[in-house]
Structure 1
C-alpha cells in the first residue's frame, strides 16, 4: 500500500462508519435476509445430515458475524428444524459484539430454542491458535474470510471443525464483481490485515483437496452516484469502504484518486441507469457438506 495510505483495519471506528454507510446504500442485510428465507433453507437447513438426541443441541459457529443481522436470520430458519441450538460467535470487534448481543436480546422471543450464546472476541486466527477442538454442525463465514492470515489454511481449519454431516457456508464477493475487479486493479490497496479473495479462490482451494462444494450466485447492485460528488461526505465514506482505505481522497496522490474514481464509474465495476451509477455488488455463497463417515 502507498506509504501515506492507511487500511481501514487500522481504524476500527472508521471501518464501522464507512461499512454502515455502504450497507445502508446496498440494503445488504435485506438482500442476505431474502437469501436466508429462500435459498438458505434448501442449501443448508435441509442438507444438514445429523441425528440429534431429544435434549441434544445443534452446534453452530459464526465466524466474523458482525452485528448479527444475518446470523439471526439463519438461526431462526435453523430453529424450524432443530429446536435446540448452541450458538458460538467469533467476532473481533467489541462494538459489533455489543450490537449482536443487543439484537439477540431484542429478538429473544424468536430464538427461544437458542439455549446459549457463547461470545468470543477474537479473530479466526486467534480462535484457531487458542486450540479449541469443539466440533460443529453448521459453520458460517459471511464476508469474513478476507480477514485471515491464510485463506487455504483457515478454510481447512473450518472444514476440520465440522461434524460429519455438517455444513460450512462461506460467502464472498464474486469473481466478476466490482469489488474484486477494483481490488485486483489496485493491488497496492491490499494490507497485511486483509487478503483480497473471491469465490473462485474458495472453490479452487476446496477442489484441490477433493472437497465437493456447491455455489449459489446472488446478483446485487448498489447505487453509488454520490461517490462522484466531491462535496458528498457520504460518497467519500463509500469510496473508502470500497477501497478499504481511510480517507482516500485526503491521503492518496491526486492522480491515483482520479484513477480510482474513473475505474469505479467504468463498466469494469458499474452500470449506468439514467443519471445513476450502479456498482456491481455480486456475491456468491459456497456450501460444503461434510460426508458422513
Structure 2
C-alpha cells in the first residue's frame, strides 16, 4: 500500500451493516450462487476424485451465505466423505453471523469448522510460523482488493493447494462499472478501505506473471442505482455511500468532483433500461489450477 495513504481496515465491524445493505439491494450473492451451482459441481468431482477426505479454506468469507452453499454442494457430491472448513474472516460480527447460519443448516452437521477471526495477512503470518495445512479447495470472494501484496497473497494461498486442488477468486470484472468508476476517480476514492483498486485484469496479469493456469467464468449482474442521484433518497444515499466507500457521499466531495463521479456512474458505468439506471456489476470467477 502507498505509505502516504491512511487506509482503514475493511474488517471493522462497522462496515458489516453497510456490506449487508449492499448485498440485500444488489443481487450480487444471487449472481455468485448461480455461478457456484453452474461451475463447481464439475470442479468438485475433479477435485475430490479418489480422496478419502476434503479440506476447504474460505478467505474473507463474510457472513458465510455463499460458503454454506458451496460446502453443502461439496457434501452432496461426495456423501459420507469427511469435510473440514477453515474460515478466515476479520469481522467478529460477520463471523458470528456465519456461525449462526451453520447452526441452522442441517446439511453441514458433519463439517468440522475451524475459525480464524483475523485479516488475511495475520493468517498468512501465523500459517508460515507452523506446519501449514493444505487444502483441496480455497476460495477468495470479493476480498482481493484489501490485501497489501497481490502477488505474494496469491502465491501463498496457491501454495496451500493439494494435488488437483483449485483456488477460486471472484472479483469485479475488468472494464465493468466498479472498475471504470474506481480507476477514473482513483485519486478521490482510493484513500480509505481500498488503496489500490484491482479488477480481474490485474489478477489475471498477476496469475500470468506467476505462470499459473486458470479458467475464467463471467458472473453477469446489474442493479438499479437510479435513486443514487437523488440526495433526498435514503436508499440512494446508502447505496452511493457504499459504492464510493464514504460515510456521506454528498458531503465528502466538492460539487465539481461529486458531479464528475455521478456523471461517470451514470454514463460510463451503467446502462438505462425501462427508465432505470442499471449499474454494471458483472464479476469474474477465476479458477486457478494447483
Q: Give TM-score, length-normalised by structure 1.
A: 0.90
Match of 1:162 in 2: 161
- Contact 2:6 2:192 (8 Å CA) reproduced: no
1:127 to partner: Cα distance: 0.5
- Alignment counterpart, residue 94 of structure 1, candidates 92, 115, 128: 92
Partner of 1:217: 218
| Residues 8 and 246, structure 1, Cα contact 8 Å, conserved in 2 | no
Change (3 A) 1:79 1:11: closer
Which secondary structure state, in structure 2, belongs to the residue aligned with residue 197 of structure 1? coil
Distance 1:244 1:8 in 2: 11
1:111 equivalent to 2:90? Answer: no
**Alpha-carbon distance in structure 2 between the residues aligned to 1:197 and 1:110:** 35
Aligned to 1:227: 228
1:256 corresponds to: 257
Separation in structure 2 between the aligned mates of residue 90 and residue 173 of structure 1, nearest angstrom: 21
| Number of equivalences | 279
Q: After superposing the two structures, state which structure 1 stretch, 70-79 or 15-24, moved more.
A: 15-24
Structure 1: segments with no counterpart, 5+ residues:
none
Instruction: Find the residue that maps to 2:77 and give its secondary structure.
Output: coil
Contact 1:21–1:234 (CA<8 Å) still a contact in 2?
Answer: no
Q: Indicate the larger mover: 231-240 or 58-67.
A: 231-240
Equivalent residue for 2:269? 269
Is the 8 Å Cα contact of residues 59 and 87 (structure 2) preserved in structure 1? yes
Q: Confirm or deny: 8 A CA contact 2:137 2:161 kept in the other structure.
A: yes
User: d(CA) in 1 for partners of 2:10 and 2:97?
Assistant: 21
* Secondary structure, counterpart of 1:181 in structure 2: helix
The equivalences for 1:1-293 within 5 A come to 9=9, 12-42=12-42, 44-48=43-47, 51-53=50-52, 57-82=53-78, 83-107=81-105, 109-114=106-111, 116-130=112-126, 131=128, 132=130, 133-188=132-187, 189-191=189-191, 193-194=193-194, 195-266=196-267, 268-290=268-290
Is the partner of 1:215 in helix, strand or coil? strand
Question: Relative to structure 1, is the Cα distance of residues 13 and 227 closer, same or farther in structure 2, using a 3 angstrom cutoff?
Answer: farther
Conserved in 2, the CA contact under 8 Å of 1:90 and 1:119? yes
- Deviations along 1:85-125, whole A, 9 cap, x unmatched? 10000000110000000000010x111331x1101111111
Shift of 1:174: 0.1
Aligned mates of 1:49, 1:13 — CA distance in 2: 35
SS of 2:61 mapped into structure 1: coil
What RMSD in Å do the two structures reach over aligned CA positions?
1.9
- C-alpha separation between the residues in 2 aligned to 1:162 and 1:33? 23
Task: Report the Cα offset of residue 17 of structure 1.
Answer: 2.7
Pick closer, same or farther for the CA change 1:11–1:257 going to 2, 3 Å: farther
Unaligned runs of 5+ in 2: none
